């Protein structure tokens, strides 16, 4: 009797029971093991930003290692809040569109110090946060017609696949045709195709965790091939090392295929000096009318990129109600807005929900525990900076391509026989990919939808907020979109 009572108490206060109670894992038809795997998969799919964000911002004069740590710290805090407050499986990190605007639009072209740029990010996030509190952001989301909601998800899927093909070097620039088929002897091409094959086979065999296992196996193959290349004096430059041929040929004397940033250690303890960007934003210096267009541009990108991403991820994860509305949308959008403020404060640029979260959702992630795992990994990687260099982009690219494929499957739900619904949907999907901008794709879709309804005398079918947002998009395209 005593032992039974002891076991009951032990079970009641166990970690498993705590996690299930905190995240309602059983109610979502998931398990702790599934959520852990989903979190690791999402992190692996997002890991490229740890290196890419510092590269972009350091090109504008910021310190690489400081941005690296700030990127990890901001992503960890933002994603943790998403998991613990909104209880959703959405990873958050520095947004690629906004960090490019910060680096080249504000710091380089406008000759502004990075402290001003981060202050603008913070102010933009604060304004969006106020819009969430007034329910305006949620009202805009609910005013979007179903066909456009679906097309936004499909467009993001195509956009992700486009990025995957670009990273994999399957698609490369062409002076004649803009893009063309890549070099099959490029190690990045070879490893990416191998990774795509591995994930495809695992998915065909219905192996749970296919994307995660595909990333891990592809990374191991890439590193092993680099060591073999060093031993045989053959170039296998899958990590993009400078001064090494990008095709399989003789390795220059004294060179190595191993990541050039690797210092021979796997653990590195960051120092206080390394966190030099945190809290250094200059909000007072941003209080000038000359910065209003810049703040507006940042808002348009942040507002609609995250709106489209959250909508697509929520639909994919089955977190919508019978009317197609995302549950707890206000909490999600509030955390997303706080992510911008956190990113500005940390000095890593605006943090937003990541479309790569689809990888974890596909693996079964349905609760905030997935996000908490992602946050923990972002925090841990600060102490394993060198290890992060051993995950090549060629291992991430196949995952993005497959995730894009799975998201594009929603295209069947669009009524292609209804021209008034199908053309705006098509323009949303195609513009999002060809302009390399989620927000511009949404803008084209909104404007075309309103114009077609107006031309057919059905303007009353369009909700007032759709008209208002479409007009704002017109102003955006004519005035400040060129900043991007």
Q: pLDDT digit string (tens) for 216-252?
A: 899 899 989 988 988 888 989 888 787 888 888 888 8
- Give the model confidence (pLDDT) of 165-211 as tens digits: 988 999 988 888 888 998 899 999 999 999 999 999 998 998 766 77
**SS3 assignment, position 179:** strand
Looking at residue 324, its pLDDT comes to 65
Q: What integer is the mean pLDDT of 33-53?
A: 86
Residues 341-355: tens digit of each pLDDT: 999 999 998 999 988
Rounded Cα distance between 81 and 302, Å, is 18
Q: Beta partners for 92?
A: 353
The residues pairing with 174 across neighbouring beta strands, listed in sequence order, are 178
For the record, the structure tokens of 45 come out as 């799919």
Average pLDDT over residues 136-144: 78
Please say if the pLDDT value at position 315 is more than 90.
no
Do 362 and 312 form a contact (C-beta atoms < 8 A)?
A: no
Q: Which residue has the tokens 């456009």?
A: 148
Q: Which residue has the higher pLDDT, 45 or 130?
A: 130
What is the average pLDDT across 306-329? 76
The tokens for 25 are: 């894992």
What is the percent of the chain where pLDDT is above 70? 90
Higher-pLDDT residue of 121, 436:
121
Say if residue 481's pLDDT is above 70: no
**Which H or E element spans position 93?**
strand 92-94
Answer with the residue of higher pLDDT: 261 or 93: 93
Helix (H, G, I), strand (E, B) or coil at 425: helix
Check pLDDT > 70 for residue 261.
no
Chain centroid, CA 475 distance in Å? 27
Confidence class for position 161, pLDDT limits 50, 70, 90: confident
Average the pLDDT over 432-454 and give the result.
Answer: 87
Q: What is the rounded (10 degree) CA torsion for 406, 412, 414, 418?
A: 150
Q: Which runs of consecutive H residues, i.e. helices, occur in 47-145?
A: 48-58, 64-81, 96-100, 114-133, 136-143
Does the pLDDT value for residue 471 go beyond 80? yes
Residue range 478-484: mean pLDDT, rounded: 61
Write down the residue that tokens 């070099």 correspond to. 183
Flag whether 1 is in a domain: no
Q: Find, among 97, 110, 151, 115, the residue nearest to 439 by Cα.
A: 97
Determine contact, residues 336/92, Cβ cutoff 8 Å. yes
- Say which range, 16-20, 293-297, 307-311, 479-483, has the weakest mean pLDDT: 479-483
Where residue 285 falls (left for φ over 0; alpha for ψ -120 to 50; beta otherwise) is alpha
What's the 3-state SS for 348-401? CCCEEECCCHHHHHHCCCCCHHHHHHHHHHHHHHHHCHHHHCCCCHHHHHHHHH
Query: Does any domain span residue 4?
Result: no
Q: Is residue 5 part of a domain?
A: no
Three-class DSSP category at 250: strand
Give the lowest-confidence range in 84-93, 95-104, 105-114, 196-205: 95-104
Q: Is 45 within a domain?
A: yes
Statement: residue 364 has pLDDT above 70: yes
| Alpha helices (H) in 171-271, listed in sequence order | 187-204, 210-232
Q: In the structure, what pLDDT confidence band is assigned to residue 335 with cuts at 50, 70 and 90?
A: very high
For 320, the 3-state DSSP assignment is strand
- pLDDT value of position 388: 65
Distance CA 95, CA 355 (A): 10
Q: Span 252-266, mean pLDDT?
A: 75
Q: What is the mean pLDDT of the chain?
A: 83
Among residues 425, 411, 435, which one has the least CA distance to residue 484? 435
Gap between the Cα atoms of 83 and 371, Å rounded: 5
- In this model, does residue 462 exceed pLDDT 70? yes
pLDDT attached to residue 373: 95
pLDDT band at 11 (very low <50, low <70, confident <90, very high): low
Which pLDDT belongs to residue 340? 93
- State how far the alpha carbon of 390 is from the alpha carbons of 72, 163, 422, in Å: 17, 20, 44
Query: Are β-strands 178-181 and 92-94 bridged in parallel, bridged antiparallel, or unpaired?
Result: unpaired
pLDDT of 398 reads 87
Q: What is the pLDDT at residue 173? A: 86
* pLDDT: which is higher, 3 or 71: 71
Within a domain: 53: yes
Query: Mean of the pLDDT values across residues 22-31?
Result: 86
Rounded-to-integer distance, Cα 53 and Cα 75, Å:
11
- Residue 316, pLDDT > 70, answer yes
Asked if 235 and 251 touch (Cβ cutoff 8 Å), the reply is: yes
Expressed as residue numbers, the domain containing 237 is 27-483
- The stretches of 389-463 forming alpha helices (DSSP H) are 393-408, 419-434, 438-455
| pTM exceeding 0.75 | no
Residue 2 falls within a domain, yes or no?
no
The greatest distance separating any two alpha carbons of the chain, rounded to the nearest whole angstrom, comes to 81
Q: For residues 27, 29, 31 and 36, what is the CA-based torsion angle, rounded to 10 degrees?
A: -100
Count of domains observed in the chain: 1
pLDDT average, residue stretch 113-136: 90
CA distance 352 to 33: 26
- Residue 6 inside a domain? The answer is no
The whole-angstrom separation of Cα 58 and Cα 53 is 8
DSSP-assigned letter for residue 234: B
**Does residue 13 lie in a domain region?**
no
Tell me whether residue 323 is exposed, middle or buried, using C-beta atoms within 10 angstroms of its C-beta: 0 to 12, 13 to 18, 19 or more: exposed
pLDDT tens per residue, range 415-440: 888 898 899 999 999 998 888 777 78
pLDDT at 91: 94
pLDDT of 13 above 70: no
What is the C-alpha to C-alpha distance for residues 165 and 153, in angstroms, rounded to an integer? 19
Tokens 């296992």 sit on residue: 213
Q: 92: part of which helix (H) or strand (E)?
A: strand 92-94
């Amino acid at each position: 009797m005593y032992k039974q009572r002891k076991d009951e108490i032990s079970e009641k206060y166990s970690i498993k029971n705590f996690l299930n109670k905190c995240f309602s894992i059983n109610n979502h038809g998931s398990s702790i093991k599934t959520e852990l795997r989903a979190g690791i998969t999402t992190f692996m799919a997002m890991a490229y930003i740890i290196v890419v964000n510092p590269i972009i911002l350091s090109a504008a004069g910021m310190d690489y290692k400081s941005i690296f740590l700030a990127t990890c710290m901001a992503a960890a805090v933002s994603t943790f809040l998403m998991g613990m407050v909104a209880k959703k499986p959405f990873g958050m990190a520095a947004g690629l569109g906004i960090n490019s605007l910060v680096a080249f639009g504000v710091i380089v072209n406008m000759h502004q110090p990075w402290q001003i740029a981060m202050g603008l990010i913070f102010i933009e996030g604060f304004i969006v946060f106020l819009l969430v509190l007034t329910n305006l952001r949620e009202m805009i989301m609910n005013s979007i017609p179903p066909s456009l909601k679906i097309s936004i998800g499909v467009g993001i899927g195509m956009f992700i696949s486009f990025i995957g093909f670009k990273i994999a070097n399957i698609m490369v620039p062409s002076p004649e045709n803009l893009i063309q088929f890549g070099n099959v002897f490029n190690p990045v091409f070879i490893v990416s195709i191998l990774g795509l094959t591995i994930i495809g086979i695992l998915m065909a065999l219905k192996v749970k965790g296919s994307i995660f296992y595909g990333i891990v196996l592809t990374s191991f193959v890439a590193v092993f091939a680099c060591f073999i290349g060093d031993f045989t004096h053959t170039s296998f430059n899958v990590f993009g090392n400078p001064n090494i041929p990008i095709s399989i040929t003789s390795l220059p004397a004294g060179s190595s295929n191993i990541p050039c940033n690797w210092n021979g250690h796997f653990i590195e303890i960051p120092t206080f000096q390394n966190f030099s960007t945190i809290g250094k934003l200059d909000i007072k210096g941003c209080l000038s009318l000359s910065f209003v267009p810049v703040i507006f541009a940042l808002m348009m990108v942040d507002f609609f990129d995250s709106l489209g991403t959250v909508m697509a991820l929520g639909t994919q994860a089955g977190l919508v109600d019978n009317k197609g509305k995302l549950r707890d949308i206000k909490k999600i959008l509030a955390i997303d807005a706080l992510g911008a403020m956190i990113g500005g404060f940390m000095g890593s640029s605006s943090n937003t929900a990541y479309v790569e979260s689809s990888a974890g959702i596909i693996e079964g992630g349905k609760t905030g525990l997935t996000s908490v795992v992602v946050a923990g990994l972002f925090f841990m990687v600060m102490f394993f900076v060198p290890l992060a260099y051993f995950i090549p982009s060629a291992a991430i690219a196949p995952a993005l391509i497959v995730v894009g494929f799975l998201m594009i499957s929603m295209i069947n739900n669009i009524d292609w026989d209804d021209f008034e619904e199908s053309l705006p949907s098509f323009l949303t999907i195609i513009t999002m990919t060809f302009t390399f901008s989620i927000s511009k794709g949404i803008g084209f879709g909104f404007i075309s939808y309103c114009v077609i309804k107006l031309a057919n005398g059905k303007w009353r079918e369009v909700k007032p907020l759709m008209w208002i947002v479409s007009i704002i998009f017109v102003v955006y395209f004519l005035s400040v979109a060129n900043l991007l």
